[in-house]
Amino acid sequence: MLFQVGGQGARPTFFEMAAAQQLPASLRGALTYSIGVLALRRPFLHKVLDYEDEFFALLMLVLETHSLRNTDASFSESLYGLRRRAAKIRTKQADIRSKSSDGIQHSSLEKRQRVLSVVFLVVLPYLKSKLHSIYNKEREARLQASLWGPGDERFEDVDYFDEAEASIASRTSTETEATIRTRLAKNIHKIIGVCYPWLHATTEGLTFTYQLLYLLDATGFYSVGLQALGIHVCRATGQELMDTSSRISKIRNRERERLPGPPWLKAVQGALLKCTYAVLDYAQTGLIAAVFIFKMMEWWYQSAEERMSAPTVYPPPPPPPPPKVAKDGIPLPPDRTICPLCSLKRANPSVVTVSGFVFCYACIHKYVSQYQRCPVTLMPADIDQIRRLFHDM
């Protein structure tokens, strides 16, 4: 069986379709990198990175809507000279004999197909990205719970002094204080954590299957989304590429003629539309070039020695959770400046290194010398593990 690798005919090759499909991901990575570099000098750009998914989805929504409306192709497909056509199966034998033998007739996209194309190109990838982030958080929470125990059984490093009564209260009282919204969010996250791997495996399996069939010339649809919409991606002919500008101008003139209101208002609205179209045209043609030129220039001026000798910087590991308070241990006072042993303001504060809790030096020295353990966690300790603190918060 021959693989389709040539560039003849209206059917795009597998490599053209793969390049068009991977372009949005490459564009997102380049934009994120560029904004991150600019944010070093303009800190307000960090807000854009905090809402990276929403920002990129809005940008692609504008670009994809503009491209489908003017060229009947997605943003990435239009850059590769591809067009989307509605695929209709012919049933008449005369048409089959007189025309091509594939039994499929191509026509322009309908309005419904353009809208659904935007949904498949922008909305579904955005939802998948959000589900993936929720799944990663849930997986990290499960991993942390398997290593250190459930989160409600451990002290948080912020409020384990201020809310010491929680160490005495039972789990039932904690659950009664949880709001319905928090419980619902936790349940939804758990459901996503269970269902997302199956959903991800299904979508990736269907994607691989359709791409393999397309490579083997067994189907004309590159993805399941294209088949669901009944759309074929074809190469644009030379005449279509030449007529694109005239078609766009006709569409825009028709829109300006439909503007309501008196002549002066139409003139103002027409000028605004003209400026909007110009901005969209410049954004569509210059966005990718500007981003990749910026990355190339940044790489060019970075010396090879810096790239070779720069050590790999790994993020610091998360701190271990605070130790648990033993059932028979001494409870912690609400005020962090009070010694748990004498219930007075700490004098000569000292810490037990096995647990990290702070006491008066005289109190903890006497207790550890007698019981050989930490009074709060009941972990084994000796006097050599007592450290003096010279700065007490």
Sequence-ordered list of residues with C-beta below 8 angstroms from that of 263, at least 6 positions apart, any chain: none
| Higher pLDDT pick, 22 / 367 | 367
**pLDDT, tens digit, for every residue of 249-304?**
666 666 666 667 677 776 777 777 677 766 666 666 666 666 566 556 656 655 54
pLDDT above 70: residue 137: yes
pLDDT on residue 208: 93
Instruction: Name the more confident of 49 and 165.
Output: 49
Query: What pLDDT is attached to residue 330?
Result: 87
Nearest CA-CA partner of 70 in 280, 270, 227: 280
> Of 158-162, 290-294, 316-320, 358-362, which gets the smallest average pLDDT?
158-162
**Radius of gyration of the chain from its Cα atoms, rounded to whole angstroms:** 32
- Cβ-based burial of 121 (10 A; exposed 0-12, middle 13-18, buried ≥19): buried
- Please give the backbone phi and psi of residue 276, each rounded to the nearest 5 degrees, phi first: -65, -45
pLDDT tens per residue, range 192-204: 888 888 999 999 9
Residue 176 pLDDT = 60
CB 220 within 8 A of CB 102: yes
pTM of the model: 0.57
Is the pLDDT assigned to residue 2 strictly greater than 80? no
Q: How far is CA 259 from CA 250, 251, 272, 277, 281, in A?
A: 15, 13, 12, 15, 21
Q: Which two tokens stand for residue 248?
A: 């766009």
pLDDT computed for residue 35 by the predictor: 83
- Quick count: other Cβ atoms within 10 Å of Cβ 363? 20
Beta strands in the chain (DSSP E): 82-89, 104-107, 231-235, 349-352, 358-360, 386-388
**Which segment of 143-157, 221-235, 283-297 scores lowest on mean pLDDT?**
143-157
Checking if the pLDDT of 94 tops 80, the result is: no
pLDDT cut 70: percent of the chain above it = 67
The whole-number pLDDT of residue 321 equals 80
98-136 pLDDT tens trace = 444 455 556 678 888 888 999 999 999 999 988 888 888
Q: Is 207 exposed, middle or buried (0-12, 13-18, 19+ CB in 10 A)?
A: middle
